[in-house]
Structure 1
Amino acid sequence: MDHLREIETDGISNPREISRLAIDIGGSLIKLVYFSRDSSDHEDPLNDCVGVSNGVNGRLHFAKFETTKINDCLKFISANKLLLGGLQNQENPTSDKSFIKATGGGAYKFSDLFKEKLGISLEKEDEMECLVTGANFLLKAVNHEAFTYLNGQKEFVQIDHNDLYPYLLVNIGSGVSMVKVDGDGKFERVSGTSVGGGTFWGLGKLLTKCQSFDELLELSHRGNNRVVDMLVGDISGGMDYSKIGLSSTAIASSFGRAISNNNELDDYKPEDVSRSLLRMISNNIGQISYLNALRFGLKRIFFGGFFIRGHSYTMETISVAVHFWSKGEAKAMFLRHEGFLGALGAFMSYDRHSLDDSMINQSVQIPVDASCGTDTNCNPLERDLNETESMQCRVYQA
């Protein structure tokens, strides 16, 4: 409790600064997005957040928790008075109960817990719609949001708003959803796979005894997958299979080397196992994503979700897979705010469903020089609220 009191002291000094909160509760992670206005603004918080005035400067904040540690998330919300980011119950205006927008399967699973612990209702928003809304918002509003990563080089992509659609959105959470996006509110889930972030974490925990996703990811940095994987050279006498475009170092069978000897799991280094697992899943996602893009003639594929986490090896593997199978015609593109698409979509849904007609056109505009750290490997409970990931923004009336 001493730690919690420290947060209450060091957090936002004026709770009126918080004017909007939305949450995405996934199978592995809980993501929060909330808006705080600059302390120099003194108008009504609700009006500020929707831009009824000429415009309100502030910040969009981003935070995450493991879903298994949902009580830490509840403490964080309570300690920093983020419930002021919700709205009063429209059906019963005299009620002192408020609600916040929420998406993800956990919005249903933990609904009673939020009401019991915080006295707050979760107003559920469709998960797929939130993902698309969040992605469209970022691609239109944030300069240098999308980038490619190949051969160790990160290159930002300038998005032409008039030529954004259609594109394939690949959201890699516990599982993977692949969504063809044709416009604002126009989308179709065309495919997916159960082999995603949950697979990496679940199998990795069983095989390496790592206790967190980040620990497993860090372990993979030090690994060598060639100790575990069977390569093309292993079955072709060390030669390239140039006739079909395969180098000797290409993976012929993930984890295949384990069948060619009498080793047990304990004979392999955990970091090598982690590296092989990460590469197997990333390769698989990259290949399936391109095949679905090919189905619909899509040249652009955007990857989101907290599986990636700005991890260079993951992005490189996905990019190489897309490049290889498309023969260089398609590109894998990544998003700086990759893990917060659903939470951002839920954040934007306030304007669609909770405000009167005069406020429908409100939106959040991110300036050209906006910046946001993408290192989300921290638990916000260990940091001052103002030190969580955030970006400068201005809320205005269109």
Structure 2
Amino acid sequence: MMGRKISIDKSQINFRLPIRSLETPSYLIEITYLGLLVYLMVVGPALRLLIPMVGAGTLAALVVICLLHFGSHTPGALKPIRFALACGISLLILQVGVFQESIMHSWMRNFLTWVMGLVVIQSLSFRKGFLHRFAIIAFLIGCGTLPFMRVYEVSDELMRVGGEGVPLGNPNFFGMWFGFCAIYFIVTGLEAKNYIIRSFAWFAAILCLYFVAITVSRGALFGVAIATVIAFQKILKRSFLPILGFLILLWIVYLTGVFDGLIAYYLHRGAEETGRSRLWAWAIDKIWGAWGMGVGMSNSFFIVDEESGETAGPHNSFLFILLSSGFIPLIFYVAYLFQATKGAFRAQGQNNPDSPYLLPMVSFALLAVMVADTTFMSPWHMIVFSLAIATPNVMRILDESSPRSISRKTLGREVREK
């Protein structure tokens, strides 16, 4: 029995893994992409050096480099975001081919940029630690935007923070950006073993929460609250002291009275009509009139003020896509979000450095797409969803379990299962 040989038919072993797709993308691609974000969102507006087409041209060049990097393995590398790509590409085709929209239309350019951004971010998601480096840069970008923000009076009882000339000038976008940063630092503080790192993370989280609060953006603040509860739910099973320390810190900040005025603003705004009920009713009426086939990008905005020409979308990404382009892109979009949500729940049971961040961040991202038209195009949205689909795990798993380098331990496990 000891000398008996076991015959193994390797062709019957199901590795259930894609083919290895070259090496991890170069750090130069990541540096270029993050540098492009800093230029477009802070440096360019600050120095008034925003050169037309530089952003789109650089992003297109990065797409080409990423495709060349993966080569013949590009379909496998981009497979996790196939639904998102299908949504964007089908929407662009319908707008140009059916509704005769110009590709130079501002919203058309936004969707084209989104598709290119998906490819670049999907490629960068293979780089270990990309989420953490991006979160730090995102925090610095948000802080760099602060000089462009101003406090303005909405009414005698309400003041908000907003700005002009910068991508984060909209109070809601500004709040969601810092909401993402707040969630990152909260989870980092809960997960950190080093007290210095934990203290720094919680201080940064409090700062981000303050920036979210001064926008008086109910959607952003509510989303952060939900994400924080989800993050705490996991930690409660492991340790009570980190949560106790964070609550004590929040209590100290509350005692200082910093948030007293902001609480009053939220109480006042909570009694206001959001206007979404009117926008949603208008959007649903137009969708019904078009039999769900869409009305075109140019006809997807409600005229708020005829004198100023101010317009607004339905303030809901699902309604916006269905209204503008019909049910085909919407189906792909819903599949993309479902894929990310499923991945976030699956990550809860994985031993991955990014796992604790994914479910809270995806929850926040899903709430954000329900109260705005195109926040799903923001860089942090794309990164969170891409990571939630678990593509960063592919390279590490393949290194351990590829057919060429499979270990005896893994092979033995497959044989026992047979």
Q: TM-score over 0.5 for the alignment?
A: no
Higher relative contact order (CA 8 A, sep 6+): 1
| More strand, by proportion | 1
TM-score, normalised on structure 2? 0.26
TM-score, normalised on structure 1? 0.27
| More helix, by proportion | 2
